[in-house]
Structure 1
Amino acid sequence: MAIELSKQARADAIVSIERWFREERDEKIGNIAAGALLGFFLEELGPVVFNQAVAQVQERLQMRIMELDIEIHEDEFQYWRRRERAARGR
């Protein structure tokens, strides 16, 4: 699955890459080179980040599913027990 950015996100990322090179490396990188670098990172590293995010979501969903049993569990065959407790309370 290719990771696509919106036009605005892509433009913002390119500006950020250019700034990073300027401020952290004291180098100038052009708009085209920054866009190419962004494309490389998205293609090469994007799937790693995406897969990790999917795994984290799956783990959190699994934890929530396990909690559902506790949150919405109903004891079975309680009619007579409730009736007996009500009778003792009279």
Structure 2
Amino acid sequence: MHAFTLTKETKDQMIVAIQDYYLREKQEEIGNIEAGFLLDFFMEKLAPTFYNQGIRDAHQFVSEKVEDLFELEKMD
């Protein structure tokens, strides 16, 4: 599997979201570097799990829709 890549803008937004979370939930300020390291960790260790679940969900959805196509068959 290829590594996840983000645009700079998206990565910057996620870093700000991590910083906001820490401030709101833990009353701690963390810098851009620390938040960036956390984001890198999440992307490397956690994101694949969510990605794979999304793939399984999409597969199930498409499979159900393909089965629905058979209902459109014409009977002789």
The answer, yes or no, to whether TM exceeds 0.5 is yes
After TM superposition, what 4+ stretches of structure 1 lie above 4 angstroms from structure 2? none
- Residue in structure 1 matched with residue 58 of structure 2 by the alignment: 57
- Residue in structure 2 matched with residue 41 of structure 1 by the alignment: 42
- For residues 7 and 74 of structure 2, what CA distance do their matches in structure 1 show? 47
Structure 2 length-normalised TM:
0.94
- Structure 1 vs Structure 2 CA RMSD: 0.8
- Residue in structure 1 matched with residue 75 of structure 2 by the alignment: 75
- For residues 52 and 10 of structure 1, what CA distance do their matches in structure 2 show? 22
User: Do residues 11 (structure 1) and 12 (structure 2) align?
Assistant: yes
5+ long unaligned stretches in structure 2:
none
Percent identical pairs in the alignment equals 32
Q: Between Structure 1 and Structure 2, how many residues are aligned?
A: 75
- Give the secondary structure class of the aligned counterpart of 2:28: coil
Structure 1 length-normalised TM:
0.80
Deviation at 1:3, TM superposition (A): 1.3
- Partner AA of 1:75 in structure 2: M
Spell out, residue by residue over 1:18-67, the C-alpha distance to the aligned partner (whole angstroms, 9 max, x if none). Answer: 11111110011110010010000000001000000000000000000000
